[in-house]
Structure 1
Amino acid sequence: MTNAPTHTFLDLHVHSSGGSDDAGGTVEGYLKWIEARRRLGFRIDGFVLTEHRNFDTTRDFSALAAKYNAVVLHGLEVETDIGHVLVYGVTPAFLSHFNLTDVSLPYAEVFKVAWETGGIAVGAHGGRPHIGLVDHVEERSIDLAPIKVIEALNGGSSDFENARAHELAVARGLREVGASDSHFVSALGRCLTRFDSAITTVEGLVAALRDPAAQFQAMRLEETVPGAVIPPRPTLAQLVPATSRMGDLGGDALEYDRSVVGKEVAAGRLEVTAEAIASYCEALEETNPLYTDAVFAAQGPYGGIIAPPGILQTARLSPPPDPAINFVGTSFMAGSRQEYHLPIRAGDTLEGFASVAQVYEKTGRSGRMVFVVRRNRYINQHGETVATLESSMVMRETKAVEGDA
């Protein structure tokens, strides 16, 4: 550890290219990033690898971690019927209960078995739509009895999504951790957890998370600087409304065809071949051996070459139904989100389905804005959802300039 051993600052949710097919950061790359952050005065003592649906006990980074005076621990991220869940203290007994490739594991069983086998499960990115537990609490009133800790500060979530998770935690007596959900080096440590004890092992981490008397706090990287003031977490009421159902935004009611929202239509097909994968990798100078080296890939977690997730960008899909929004403004891209659920392999036939996932409003300094979230969902020939890609377009209100006719 670099500073006082009575505190430990850990990023509890990190993916690497060696274990998660949608990640680009290497373990040593993350450690070099920690080294660089420390030189700027920030505090990161280590991180936990939580690979998607994959727990490889042969990966030993102890020597590499020692080289950079950091902690590298192992965990797991699984997918359940209430969203994603992080598991720490993974044991053979836990692994024997579940098929990790199942993207809809029963959440109550995951939390129960993790606890009974000496570990702990934590609800990941709690405030995100669909893959966080807040939606499932609001829509299905799920039982939170098995859940003791949630990730309420996630580096990949919006402030609004994090506020949703924080308010649920406060209302229901859940403890909170923070983590980056990093898939690339530069995101590591964006959010993390400060433990008021020295933690250097998975056993120590699990003990702290299980102990109701242990002290830990979710925080952002800039709050790790000595003397930094940690402000109160913003509430939903303090944040700009994120959907049209939250607050009076003023002006006329937004008119659009609500019948098309959420309606999926068949939009196209992508045939994935070994040649297509090779050509894509060659064009982008992609060198990850999971995508390019058949011998290496055969020994990896997927048993053979898989396609880079970006290959989906080569699909030509038709647009979703038009919501016919009655709003005049300047349009531009507001952001995107990509979720990859299963590896894409040569021989897969992927069907694309397009929909308008959301239409919502918010206000900014420039006035009223309307956001349209379009979603493309891909399923393979087995009917399994492989990926969900969302893009958000914003239409910003155009105001007349004084003097215009």
Structure 2
Amino acid sequence: MAHAHLDAAAGAPLHPAAREVLEAALARGYADPRALHGPGRDARLLLDNAREAVADALGVRRDEVWFTSPLDAVQRGFLGLAEARRHVGTRLVLPGVEHAHVRHAARWWTRLHTGEVVEVPVDATGRVDEHDLVEHAGGSTAAVACQLANHEVGTLQPAGALPLPDGVPLFVDASASLGLLDLPAQHWAVAAGAATSWAGPPGIGVLLVRRGTRWTNPFPGDPEPQDFGGALPDVAGSLAAAAALQATLAEREEVDARRRRLVDHIRAVAATLPDTEVVGDPEDRLPHLVTFSCLYLSGEALVRELDRAGFGVASGSACTASTLEPSHVLAAMGALTHGNVRISLGRDVTEQQVEDLLALLPDVVGRLRSEVGL
């Protein structure tokens, strides 16, 4: 049996539209698009075409789109809002389930400027209450972050319902969901996306800075937004990301309806396993992602055993050798933080792959529990 990749949230095969464009762009977009010579002008044209395509796909202005790495889009995007309002205060507010990239950036910046990070609690599904978030955003708050949907459990967040007080800007991390969900129509100032969420190249991120937003580069370099933070732009990757986004949006209704149906099936079967908790909102969630936790087991053991059987899944609660800390998302939700499996379905997943996984899963869980004496 061929290996079934069920970890699309961490990366999936390139969309065929992206692969075709990437090969062509590599032959033409190799030069520095900031250069004045002919090859540089060719590269600039390709990069501008990519920017135009992304802007059109997302319903934003062309001059609001910047290409960079996924990590840079998140950290530079969020901290750029904070840096521009440092004269107001050095307090950053975010839900307790934000991605580690956001949390690490917030802690670094507030340590640097003797500020404070306020993490707002979430409910059992992993959703923050919009009124709580707005209430915490007053006073000396420089910026607020709120993801569009949670990367680990799939729960949608109220990023479009946050009229923040006193001109406090909102950063939206859409790294796990752009291409799957539309951006909010209002209230946000800066947003970040990762091309992997729409089957684009893994090294490409998109930084969206709304026109008129006060934003200052928090890192060394030009104070204004720049592609790849001022480094040499990846022209071919950016164009491939734009092509994948367009193709993903064109097929989204059909593909996501199928993935949502398969995830509903996985959730139902996982819920029948003894001492197993399916986490995240069962309805208001990403269409392709499901997470469940099995009591008495380690997520790493489950991932390894399923991999041996030909299924690539992830563990959102995997401990790292350096920190030995469980998932902060599950902890914030009050859910089991061990024995955790995250399954995320790519556009090419088949019903048979899911059925094969579900047929195997009870035996794997039962066998691993017996090995630890349960």
What interval of TM-score do these two structures reach, taking the shorter chain for normalisation? 0.3 to 0.5
Higher strand share: 1
TM, length-normalised to structure 2: 0.38
Give the structure with higher Rg (CA).
1
Q: Which has the higher contact order (CA 8 A, sep 6+)?
A: 2
TM, length-normalised to structure 1: 0.35
